[in-house]
Structure 1
């Protein structure tokens, strides 16, 4: 049988077909905004074609200019608000319209909380396949917010650059690496603002050159400031391209003079052409290697590279909810996967028989052991390694977990870890998540053996599109 010949499309025809959208670049459109996406941009449709418009809010009618188009959706820039939302509010930050740090300052805080609850629900339904209606459906609680959702961040990571011969430092403009010079950030602890401003002034006076990421030249890449919210102790971390710092002793002396609360001045060396902030080598230039802070009654030592939640007030809320979902009576063995520096593990150890924590980063486990010793906690054991390797080894040693707690990075749990949990069959799984989409994906896997009971969103990052969750799953038939 003869094959039917198919006429091949030329490159121009293919491009025309691909670009046959109902919008064109630069086109002005009027839109009814019907919702917010997971990044906090308004969602509207023009002739059935979806457009995302940053800083537009649901219920608004707007005029926008198309700036980017793909096959199924595009992006537009807000030009004019024709009919504003009753939930629109005036952002207090003077650089809100340029900085990429806060995407939701223009939305009333109560609506931010409702929006974040809805994001969690949408992901559980769309990705996880969970029904949230009817008898026995899991409960997604209202998002727990803050009484005062400002000045909550205990850590700043600020890129340093140069402009008109002076050092600048702040945060990147949205979807770019253009530095917005900032003297004051409304969501940063005031101590962090003081650190960044002082280092810019002092390094500028001492002619310490800023890093140029395009040319890969210069010395000072980032300033990282950390503050113990309860202790008031301050750490200054200078991230440089090489170990040598001109006028180093004078730099240290002037930082100490301008920042009387500083307890630690640290240098981290990152010589690579990369967007990763920290390098592998860290040197304490002056003072202590760590600063201290408390979450509830637990004291933590925080080093330059320690992962430590940036909102201490909401961290306490998050961990207390984790403790409540664990349902500890003092007789349980708990495994804490992705344990970091032991923050959740030590909280759980207050009421568990024994807690086993595993983390792949050796420095984090060193911090976890130090924090256990610092608090006189003897019923916590920490081990370096991949959770999906270490936990089965513990099982072979006869360790049986009544409860497994996971607090993975944004990418979610490793597939092998989920398999390990299903094989271990603990009575409860408590999942702490910073990404609703990967949370929903992982819960769908665990749903073969576990029933999703409760989901508690917690607003760890007010005025941004991020939301944390604590969830409780119970083994079916347990």
Structure 2
């Protein structure tokens, strides 16, 4: 949640749909109560430690101001692992040495004694840039939390993508597994794999799974998850899907490719690679119906048939819906 200063008080909020208008939100009715408690604990701790919201200190700062160590607070984020109950608070700031960092973590722990980790994420540059920076520092507890889902263990780093609705994501992955039609003999490529959640589910029914993910930290998590679950038929490659997938499917065509892209959908190069290689079966996990429709049009024009699309309500009481689509080659099935 983005942090602003309102009358000397730090307040967290969201940006309005389709715009950049900031809306204060003290609570969130559909969020896990532990997340709300952690966010508020982080805000109050930051106030006590003299931290300032990013917008109040935007622009250049003098060396004397930098020496105070106060820094700027961009965002507060909270994560919970429902399968284990572990929780994490992340403060996104503009420098590694914030004023009274130890006190900040201690105040969060006093307010929420059961918190597992308190993390400082350092982000350089403009206030309107990416939410997270590349460096994360554990002020308290481990640098990752662990979740258990579908009988599998998953380590989650502060900035790695991990589905927020664990009950529904398990159902969504079951649908993806069903759509993949695995019998133990297939080679699968899981594109946009994140920390390898879907990859590990797929490994139970595939001969080999190869995950592709551009975020280095997420791939590191995925590889740890493979070792933690003692899975031997899954491997991961770091890089952009649009760059790696074309050569991967050209070298040795997989039997199934799963796509789980961000909201902007798949890059054109990835879709064209599937069409050119004539991958027999594609399972597309989408978080945006508009980009899904756009990408399905490209695949359909390239010879694929859209067999089924299953909607999954991951965000109750909102306009967002995820879906799982099954596509097969018209000249194969």
TM-score normalized with structure 2 length: 0.90
Of 448, 457, 460, 2:311 maps to 457
Count of paired positions: 319
Equivalent of 1:248, from 89, 98, 101?
101
Structure-2 residue corresponding to 1:209:
52
Question: CA, structure 1 residues 203+457, in 2 after alignment: closer, same or farther (shift >3 Å)?
Answer: same
**Cα RMSD after superposing both structures:** 1.8
Q: Does the Cα contact within 8 Å between 2:161 and 2:195 map onto a contact in 1?
A: yes
Structure 1 residue 423: Cα displacement: 2.1
TM superposition shift of 1:185: 1.3
Counterpart-to-counterpart distance in 1, 2:197 and 2:124: 31
Q: Which runs of 5+ in 2 are unaligned?
A: 62-70
- Report the CA distance between 1:177 and its aligned residue: 3.5
Tell whether 2:156 aligns with 1:302.
yes
Residue pairs, 1:71-470, within 5 angstroms:
158-172=1-15, 175-182=19-26, 184-212=27-55, 215-216=58-59, 219-275=72-128, 276-395=130-249, 397=251, 399-447=252-300, 448-470=302-324
Residues 300-332 of structure 1 show CA distances to partners (whole Å, capped at 9, x for unaligned) of 111101100111111111110000000111111
Once residues 391 and 277 of structure 1 are traced to their aligned partners in structure 2, the CA distance between those partners, rounded to angstroms, is 27
Q: What is the CA distance between 1:181 and its match in structure 2?
A: 4.5
**Per-residue displacement from partner, 1:281-302 (whole Å, max 9, x unpaired)?**
2212221010011221121111
Give the Cα–Cα distance (whole angstroms) in 1 for the partners of residues 160 and 52 of structure 2. Answer: 27
Instruction: Pick closer, same or farther for the CA change 1:181–1:416 going to 2, 3 Å.
Output: closer
Secondary structure of 2:37's aligned partner: helix
1:388 shift after superposition: 3.5
SS in 2 for 1:440: helix
Q: In 1, Cα distance between the equivalents of 2:157 and 2:54?
A: 24
C-alpha displacement at 1:178, in angstroms?
Answer: 3.4
Determine helix, strand or coil for the equivalent of 1:262.
Answer: coil
> Residues 191-247 of structure 1, C-alpha deviation per residue, up to 9 Å, x if partnerless?
111111112222222322222168347522211111111211111111112222212
What is the CA–CA distance in structure 1 between the aligned matches of 2:172 and 2:97, rounded to whole Å? 42
Instruction: In structure 1, list runs of 5 or more residues that go unmatched.
Output: 1-157
CA contact (8 A) 1:295 1:315 kept: no
Q: Larger % of helix: which?
A: 2
Check whether the contact 2:249–2:274 (CA below 8 A) recurs between aligned residues.
Answer: no
Structure 1 Cα separation of the partners of residues 194 and 222 of structure 2? 7
TM-score (norm 1): 0.64
Pair 1:204–1:395, CA change in 2 (3 A) = closer
Once the two structures are overlaid, the 10-residue window that deviates more, 377-386 or 253-262, is 253-262
Structure of greater relative contact order (alpha carbons < 8 Å, 6+ residues apart): 1
